[in-house]
Amino acid sequence: MSLLNHFTRYFKKTQHDSDNGNEPLTLFVEGRVQELTLHAILNKVLSARLRLTNYISGSQEALSCEEMGDHIGCELGVWLHSEGKEKYGDLARFPELEVAHKKYHECAAEIVRLHDSGNDHEARRLLVGNFSRAAHDMQEIMAYLYKQAKK
């Protein structure tokens, strides 16, 4: 079962209504209002893992440490440090999400650096180790916050 399916099932089990994570969170990026759903966030987390796996395996996609390490400028980072903090910053686990999100990006940048320096073995270990743990922590905290915000 994919992590997205896991969290979709989690929401269905923990919500008292029919909401399953598709209610949008409003996001203001580069002068435009965008809607960011929990499913979209989870998809981006899973997509980053696939991109990193493919990168280590020799894909032609160019990834940089700067891009992968930017926890402030990504969509979730922008939301976390603006509207997310304003609306949900008082929830008990919100600071944990910020920490997990930063760790996730730090690990992603390190995976790129390791691969670029020819150390694919360590890059893979980090991908299945600390990166996966940070991604899991981030997703679990987002699910918890989403559930709390809906109460």
Q: What is the greatest pairwise CA distance in the chain? A: 50
pLDDT tens by residue, 1-33: 444 444 444 444 333 334 444 555 444 444 444
Partners of 25 in beta bridges: 36
CA 41, 46, 50, 56 torsion-angle sign = positive
CA pair distance 56, 148, nearest whole angstrom: 37
Domains and CATH numbers, the chain: 3-149 (1.20.120)
Q: What is the mean pLDDT of the chain?
A: 79
| pLDDT of the residue at 101 | 95
- The structure tokens listed for 74 are 């990504």
- pLDDT score recorded for residue 102: 96
Highest mean pLDDT among 40-54, 71-85, 121-135: 121-135
User: Model confidence over 122-134: pLDDT tens digits?
Assistant: 999 999 999 999 9
Question: Above 80 in pLDDT, residue 68?
Answer: yes
In this prediction, residue 115 has a pLDDT band, given cuts at 50, 70 and 90, of: very high
Given this model, what pLDDT does residue 88 score? 83
Would you tell me how many other CB atoms lie within 10 Å of the CB of residue 55?
Answer: 22
